Amino acid sequence: MHRLLPIALVVIGLAVVVVSLMGPAPEGRCLATPRTPGDSVAFAQVERKTALAATVHYRDGLDLDVRLAPQRIVSTLPGITEMLAHLGALDRLVGRSPWCDTPSTVTVLPAVSVQPLSAEELLALEPDLVVLDRRLHRQDLDAVMRHVPHVLLLETSSSLGQLGASFTLLADVLDDERAREAARGWNAHRVELQQAVQILHRSPPPRVLLVGQWEPLFALGPGSLLDDVLATLGAVNVACDLSTDASGVFSDELALARKPDWILGPGDPMPQRLHSLLSTTPAVQEGRVLPVVGVDAFARGGPRILDATALLARRMLGYGERPDDAPGEGEPR
């Protein structure tokens, strides 16, 4: 066993050297200026083939045939259900995810398993359109598309702009002028809100820690819808250099060192350990810890995200306090 000794010493030495040489992670450049909000360029175009058939051409080359004006729709996310309601197509909904509870009338519809998506349960509902989110359902897409003939992919979870593009695409496939009008209205409201809030952007920008889960500290980074909401508000996400896709366990010491002005977290109280840890940050010292992440209007990429964004703008930037600030649609004055 003595032969192990040199190997062990080499391993130990290497570990020490590697750790020592790594040094600190550079202060993310992304902390200096707010990110530009995501674009609203359409990620897909509908090409009408016949009166009731079309092909959806996605930006990455995927082409999927869909039936226009579908009458038996299954929604796989609460946000998509709310979008259908906003577009006036709730009467065409025949199935939903277990989390779909808004509007309350949908709760009488059969629910399908979505973790993972059950192709069997989807087929049993005989849908002529199943609406999925491309990012959130990426692991199930191939399996579902093998069994279900008509699938529409939206992008409801990445940015307000892409949510707007999803509204437009969904309205086009619903092939209903009232739906198109509702989608245009939502997008106009989005642009109006973004422009109104832009005037209130501050320098230096407020730093925000977006917490998906308190322990361990699970931060929402670039690519998440809430990160895009922050960009809209001209705020900086302190986890902006988190390289994982949208979220990940974030360094405690970076959360402390980057001194967030605001912490937007889950609805449950911040655990004592984390509260003590972050007690020197402006967010904790000045009581700017808001339960946001677990709030449906924020968590679901649906129409209510604009109202929620307006409310957040009111808290963070004083939006709506001046007479010329336009309050959000449905926002209490």
Partner 1 sequence: MKVRFVLLGLFVLLAAAVGVGVGAVHVAPGEVFASLTGGSADPIVQTVRLPRVAAGLFVGASLAVAGALFQALLRNALAEPYLLGVGPGALLGVTVAAVIAGASALPPAGLRGGAAFVGALAVGAVIFAVARRTVRSPTASVLLAGIAVGAFVHAVATLLLHAAVSDWHVVVRWMLGDLGLATWRDIAFVAAVFVVGGGLAWARAGALDVLTLGDEAAWFGGVAVPRALAVLGGTACLLAASTVAVAGLVGFVGLVVPHLARGVVGTGHRRVLPASALLGAGLLVLADALARTAVAPAVLPLGVVTALLGAPFLAWFVLARS
Assess 20 for contact with partner 1 (CB under 8 A).
yes
The closest alpha carbon to 220, from 186, 191, 245, 197, belongs to 245
Assess 32 for contact with partner 1 (CB under 8 A).
no
The one among 98, 103, 185, 216 contacting partner 1 by CB under 8 A: 216
The one among 107, 280, 285, 322 contacting partner 1 by CB under 8 A: 280
CA atoms within 13 A on the CB side of 159: 20
Q: Cβ 211 to partner 1, closest distance in Å?
A: 13
The one among 109, 143, 256, 326 contacting partner 1 by CB under 8 A: 256
- Per CB under 8 A, which region of 50-58, 162-170, 250-258, 303-311 contacts partner 1? 250-258
Q: Cβ 268 to partner 1, closest distance in Å?
A: 8
- In the complex with partner 1, the residue whose CB is nearer, 93 or 239, is 239
The one among 50, 139, 203, 243 contacting partner 1 by CB under 8 A: 243
Dist. CA 64–CA 145, nearest whole Å: 9
- In the complex with partner 1, the residue whose CB is nearer, 3 or 146, is 3
Q: Are 37 and 227 in contact (CB under 8 A)?
A: no
Phi-psi region of 206 (alpha: psi -120 to 50; beta: other; left: phi over 0): beta
Assess 113 for contact with partner 1 (CB under 8 A).
no
Q: Are 307 and 330 in contact (CB under 8 A)?
A: yes
Instruction: Calculate helix-pair angle for 177-198, 160-174, nearest 10 degrees.
Output: 170
- Give the dihedral sign, CA 165/167/168/170: positive
- Per CB under 8 A, which region of 2-10, 40-48, 130-138, 307-315 contacts partner 1? 2-10
Q: Cβ 30 to partner 1, closest distance in Å?
A: 11
CA atoms within 13 A on the CB side of 248: 14
H helices within 131-176, ranges in order?
141-147, 160-174
Phi-psi region of 97 (alpha: psi -120 to 50; beta: other; left: phi over 0): beta
- In the complex with partner 1, the residue whose CB is nearer, 185 or 271, is 271
Interacting residue ranges for partner 1, rule: CB under 8 A: 1-5, 8, 11-12, 15-16, 18-20, 22-25, 28, 213, 215-218, 239, 241-244, 248-254, 256-257, 273, 276-277, 280
